[in-house]
Amino acid sequence: MAQNTENRLDASMQQEVSVDEDVLALRAPLVLVRRNDQGEWIFEGPGESPRPTVRTVLGAVVNAWPHVSALAELEPGSAAVWSWDNHGWTSEFECTCGECEQPVAADLDRRTWPGELDPEDLVSVEETALSGQEVLTNILYSSGRIALLGPGEQHRTSDQLASVAMANVIRRWPHTMRALCSVRSGYLLRWNAESLNWHEYEAV
């Protein structure tokens, strides 16, 4: 996987980390991030822990799953769970009142699916972004179809693109859900790695 030079996490991009095998193989969404007491990062999908993992470097994970960059304040010995309802990370915590609902790392649920999107709609995705070789930086709506692209010019040839169901795109990149709801024909949404949000531009 290529590495992104943008880093909001307080760690070297060369630091070794553990990644859930199913997440790395794109069979499950990245919805749980833990740091052990030594500060090591562990990235997981839904389901019971511990899970089979593969070793890689932090830069490769940040490059492939930009939504983890929002975890700059995750301390050693703590964990964060992706909330599909709130469209963001929520910290695990110890309940003292007995009434709190502990966040659970879960797969994309139809109950949280936005009504304005059809989960079966096909979206064009640049192959290198899908595999994590390039960072996903652009969402373009043109000629009646949405395309998710890496950096560079907006035009791609058909052999550079894969058709992926909308639901699987959002499972691959949870931080795209709201962007895909708001993208307009003739406009480009570009991911800002510093502010961790999508900015809209008129397509050229």
In a domain, 78, yes or no: yes
Domain boundary among 110, 136, 159: 110
Report whether pLDDT(97) > 80.
Answer: no
Report whether pLDDT(94) > 60.
Answer: no
At residue 1, the pLDDT reads: 42
Tell me: the pLDDT tens digits for 113-164? Answer: 888 999 999 999 999 999 999 999 999 998 889 999 999 888 899 999 999 9
In a domain, 35, yes or no: yes
Domain boundary among 52, 78, 110: 110
CB distance 134 to 186 below 8 Å: no
At residue 4, the pLDDT reads: 43
In a domain, 33, yes or no: yes
Tell me: the pLDDT tens digits for 99-114? Answer: 656 788 899 987 888 8
CA dihedral 121, 126, 127, 133 (to 10 degrees): -130
Indicate the pTM of the whole model: 0.86
Q: How many domains does one find in the chain? A: 2
At residue 193, the pLDDT reads: 87
Q: How far is CA 145 from CA 71, 176, 184, 187, in A?
A: 32, 16, 10, 12
**72: domain range?**
16-110
- Mean of pLDDT over the chain: 88
Tell me: the pLDDT tens digits for 26-57? Answer: 999 999 999 999 999 999 999 887 889 999 99
Q: In 10 A of CB 14, how many CB atoms?
A: 10
